[in-house]
Each structure stands twice: as structure tokens, then as C-alpha cells.
Amino acid sequence: MLAACKRKHPEIEIRKGHFLALPLMDNSVDGIVSSYALHHLPGEEKLLALEGMDRVQRLNGQICLADLMFADEDHRNSVIQNYRNQGNMEAVVSIEDEYYADGGLLVNWLTKKNYMVETHQFIDILSMIYAKK
């Protein structure tokens, strides 16, 4: 992906890193976009990832998280139960195999850090959180 990005956008500085070790200086970026990646981190590491994102954000910086997540634990349980009732065990196994976020926890964390937060739910398990510092 990095090589493809470099070919398409040679003007962009490319750096390899990960959620828990962002290779960026404090207050050095205007925006962060994460798509279909956060669900690979266990719950407690998601908040550590947000801390890292917050650290590198400039004033008025933006974070956009589009991922598989639930509004809260009740929503998670309801979706799993609906899939079970439909006999869709493949969906249940997929949910239980990954670390889909509790979007409410992420929104609360961002709000406490003085971000203005918007959420958009596309389907039962796909949501986006947009936060501006």
C-alpha cells in the first residue's frame, strides 16, 4: 500500500508505523484517516491508539475512523442475536473473532479531549466517527 501511494502521490511523505507507535512529532498533522484497521486492536489498545492520534494532531486537527463497530455493548449483543436468529453463524464468528469497537467509548474519549464529534452508522456494524479538535 505504501508503494502504491508513493507511485500515485510522490509529493506525499510516506512513513511506516502502526497505531501504537506513530512515527510523527507532536502537533504535526492536520488529519488522520483510519479505515478498516482499528478493529484489529483489542479494546484497551484502541484508547492508546487514540492517545497517539491526539498527540500528533495540530489545533483544529481531524480524525476520521471508518470501521466495524457497535454503538455500545447492547447494540453488539442485539446484532449478534439477530445474526444467530437468522442462522448466520459466519457473521457471529467474524464478530467474535475480531475486536469491533464500542463506538460510544471512542466518542466519549474524544469528547473528553475537547473534540467535536459526529457519528454516522452505515449498516449495523459499519460506522464512521469524525472528530475535529
Hey, which bits of 2-56 come out as E strands? 29-35
14 — phi, psi (to 5°)?
-105, 135
Express each pLDDT in 9-47 by its tens digit.
Answer: 999 888 888 899 999 999 999 999 999 999 999 988 999
Stated pTM of the model: 0.88
Domain chopping of the chain, boundaries: 31-132
- First CA to last CA distance, the chain: 28
Residue pLDDT, tens place only, 46-98: 999 999 999 999 999 999 999 999 999 999 999 999 999 999 999 999 999 98
Q: Which CATH superfamily is domain 31-132 in?
A: Vaccinia Virus protein VP39 (3.40.50.150)
Q: Which amino acid is at 65?
A: L
- pLDDT at position 68, please? 93
Q: Where are the alpha helices (DSSP H) in 25-113?
A: 43-56, 73-86, 89-97, 103-112
Count of CB atoms within 10 A of residue 2's CB?
Answer: 9
